[in-house]
Chain A
């Protein structure tokens, strides 16, 4: 909030510019006041305030690019909302709605849970406020399409994410409640990050010349990962995290890899796709299917 207040004095220096350059501007009160009024009247104050709050909520790495994107989206949105001219076709409208929902979903990383949850709710509202004929609500078809779009943009191989989609998809005609929607979105984003990490892990194992990894090592890493994920399934939450963490610690991972290399089994290659698919399968096995 302090930040928003801080912005105000900045308007004052602008007054001098405008005064000299543009005598046509009506000046009833002191120039600084009239400029502030002007900004408030045309909606700049409100718009920047909202933008700043979004920046603070999402804390993007590159806030300026974030702002450019934010205003761009706002500009695209306004003609459709204004209702002037021909109403866009149903399909186009649907695409716009999906785009907007996606944009909201991506504003904050899922680890910033409060911001992410807010954005999920906004995205849900965007999607469910559909045509006049239908009752408001989100149907399974739109939901599935959104999931597919997220996965596609996430650059994860299709065969890797397909099992997840299968698990959390709803039927086309089903209504999707907010909590299912939120869980689905979260799972999807977490899986994408999981796959990205797994891919980074594979790059470490990979033999740069051959572009494949040693199967023994790859399998050892996967087994360790599996062990960590399945460790003490029944234990209470914090204990489970700690146990998984310790099992994935560098020492135990190194030990497993070492053991795999020492064991006298024939070496065979393992491709990136296979590694990712197996890693993702471990994750997806933990996802509860939508009932």
Chain B
């Protein structure tokens, strides 16, 4: 009921830990951008709506990237928004997967366009990194399923800074250095393992898991950004003898305990399951005049959701990447038609 540490912290640390000032500053910026609103509704109302939207996680929609990645809560909210907005895209792909061998999935660039619909200045680099986790660092123009991309993206986006440090540690280990002795002079573990003999290391791929874990444990201890729960990292690493960097990232992205601890997305099995949203979508679709015919003309009601993505995409046409999305959605519509006939 009470978490006493919170009460014992100095004021400034308490505020920093919960990012109170980040949101207050942003609230003021937003207020200055919308001066007309406050003369109409009042300042208290403006702040009420702002802080409520932060609680609900809708505050990150269409905001600049620097804000979206500013706090863990913002990152989780963005992941959730991405999932909820484009779930139907994934549904399309997943359904195909079962139906026939040829999968109608998306490329890294196409996922990037989807991300940019929610955050116009979303950096390509981050999308690329996420795709690299799915595609194991090669063949970057391959197609990916929505859920594969989403879970890889989640790890890459949410733990971005942590993964950068991990990459550095991994490189050091590969090069035969023990990062514990280099990066952390006051290593608490005290027992620095002898690195494996060079000849042995070069014949095997990746690094030794237990040594890797020691370094990561150390990293988690002193890392100021969010990192996955160390116990789960240990679990991931204790299943294998050796592993590569991307092997590690894949394992993280597929670990459902880590997904749960992060708390933004449902389990993989429930990813396409959101009855409330489905109902809302169908209600909205019924209101769009042009759509009613095609929907009613189609005897299979089950096909309706699979048609959703291109239609839902269309209202955003004026946005920056409209052409790209159009091209992509036209393609998927054709695909859909083909498979139905």
Q: Is the CB of A35 within 8 A of B12?
A: no
Q: Is the CB of A75 within 8 A of B38?
A: no
Which residues of the partner chain B approach A65 to less than 8 Å between Cβ atoms? 51, 55
Please name the 10 residue pairs, one residue from A and one from B, whose CB atoms are nearest each other, closest first.
A68-B51, A10-B25, A75-B44, A71-B47, A14-B29, A71-B48, A74-B44, A72-B48, A67-B51, A68-B52
Q: Is the CB of B51 within 8 A of A56?
A: no
Q: Is the CB of B43 within 8 A of A42?
A: yes
User: Given A17-B32, A18-B33, are A68 and B21 neighbors across the interface (CB < 8 Å)?
Assistant: no
Contact residues of A: prevailing secondary structure = helix
User: Given A7-B25, A35-B32, are A64 and B44 neighbors across the interface (CB < 8 Å)?
Assistant: no
What is the bound-complex CA distance between A40 and B321, given in angstroms? 40
Q: Is the CB of B31 within 8 A of A3?
A: no
Which residues of the partner chain A approach B32 to less than 8 Å between Cβ atoms? 11, 14-15, 17-18, 35, 38-39
What is the bound-complex CA distance between A112 and B25, given in angstroms? 28
The answer to whether the Cβ of A242 comes within 8 Å of any Cβ in the partner chain is no
Q: Is the CB of A7 within 8 A of B24?
A: yes
Which residues of the partner chain A approach B20 to less than 8 Å between Cβ atoms? 52, 55, 63-64, 67
Could you name 14 residue pairs across A and B whose Cβ atoms are closer than 8 Å? A2-B11, A2-B12, A15-B32, A22-B33, A39-B28, A42-B43, A48-B27, A52-B24, A61-B3, A63-B15, A64-B20, A67-B23, A67-B24, A71-B47
User: Given A56-B11, A67-B47, A112-B7, are A44 and B28 neighbors across the interface (CB < 8 Å)?
Assistant: yes
Q: Is the CB of A68 within 8 A of B55?
A: yes
User: Given A71-B47, A78-B44, are A10 and B55 neighbors across the interface (CB < 8 Å)?
Assistant: no
Question: Which of A13, A51, A63, A64 has the most C-beta atoms of chain B within 10 angstroms of its own C-beta?
Answer: A64
The answer to whether the Cβ of B42 comes within 8 Å of any Cβ in the partner chain is yes
The answer to whether the Cβ of A47 comes within 8 Å of any Cβ in the partner chain is yes
Which residues of the partner chain B approach A14 to less than 8 Å between Cβ atoms? 28-29, 32-33
Number of interface residues of A (CB under 8 A): 44
Which residues of the partner chain B approach A78 to less than 8 Å between Cβ atoms? 42, 44
A203 to chain B, nearest CB (A): 14
What is the bound-complex CA distance between A7 and B28, given in angstroms? 10
Binding site for B on A (CB under 8 A): 2-3, 6-7, 10-11, 13-15, 17-18, 21-22, 25, 35, 38-39, 42-44, 47-48, 51-52, 55-56, 59, 61-65, 67-68, 71-72, 74-75, 78, 109, 111-112, 193, 196
The answer to whether the Cβ of B192 comes within 8 Å of any Cβ in the partner chain is no
User: Given A59-B6, A68-B55, are A3 and B11 neighbors across the interface (CB < 8 Å)?
Assistant: yes
The answer to whether the Cβ of B273 comes within 8 Å of any Cβ in the partner chain is no
| Given A67-B51, A78-B44, 9 new contacts (CB under 8 A) | A3-B21, A18-B33, A51-B47, A64-B18, A71-B44, A72-B52, A74-B48, A78-B42, A112-B7
User: Given A56-B15, A64-B54, A111-B2, are A75 and B31 neighbors across the interface (CB < 8 Å)?
Assistant: no
The answer to whether the Cβ of B45 comes within 8 Å of any Cβ in the partner chain is yes
The answer to whether the Cβ of B316 comes within 8 Å of any Cβ in the partner chain is no
The A/B interface has a contact count, at CB < 8 Å, of: 110
Give chain B interface residues in 8-60, CB to chain A under 8 Å: 11-12, 14-15, 18, 20-21, 23-25, 27-29, 31-33, 35, 38, 42-45, 47-48, 51-52, 54-55
Q: Is the CB of B29 within 8 A of A17?
A: yes
Which residues of the partner chain A approach B48 to less than 8 Å between Cβ atoms? 68, 71-72, 74-75
Which residues of the partner chain A approach B21 to less than 8 Å between Cβ atoms? 3, 6-7, 10
Contact residues of B: prevailing secondary structure = helix
Q: Is the CB of A56 within 8 A of B14?
A: yes
Binding site for A on B (CB under 8 A): 1-3, 6-7, 11-12, 14-15, 18, 20-21, 23-25, 27-29, 31-33, 35, 38, 42-45, 47-48, 51-52, 54-55, 73
Which residues of the partner chain B approach A6 to less than 8 Å between Cβ atoms? 12, 21
Which residues of the partner chain B approach A7 to less than 8 Å between Cβ atoms? 21, 24-25, 28
What is the bound-complex CA distance between A72 and B51, given in angstroms? 10
Q: Is the CB of A43 within 8 A of B7?
A: no
Partner of B51, one of A10, A18, A71: A71
What is the bound-complex CA distance between A112 and B6, given in angstroms? 12
Q: Is the CB of A11 within 8 A of B51?
A: no
What is the bound-complex CA distance between A68 and B23, given in angstroms? 11
Question: Which of A13, A55, A67, A109 has the most C-beta atoms of chain B within 10 angstroms of its own C-beta?
Answer: A67
Q: Which residue of A lies closest to B11 (CB)?
A: A56
What is the bound-complex CA distance between A3 and B28, given in angstroms? 15
What is the bound-complex CA distance between A78 and B52, given in angstroms? 19
What is the bound-complex CA distance between A18 and B29, given in angstroms? 9
Partner of B31, one of A13, A44, A61: A44
User: Given A59-B7, A75-B42, are A48 and B15 neighbors across the interface (CB < 8 Å)?
Assistant: no
Which residues of the partner chain B approach A62 to less than 8 Å between Cβ atoms? 55
Which residues of the partner chain A approach B29 to less than 8 Å between Cβ atoms? 10-11, 13-14, 17
User: Given A7-B25, A38-B32, A196-B1, are A63 and B44 neighbors across the interface (CB < 8 Å)?
Assistant: no
Q: Which residue of B lies closest to A21 (CB)?
A: B33
What is the bound-complex CA distance between A47 and B47, given in angstroms? 10
Which residues of the partner chain B approach A63 to less than 8 Å between Cβ atoms? 15, 18, 20
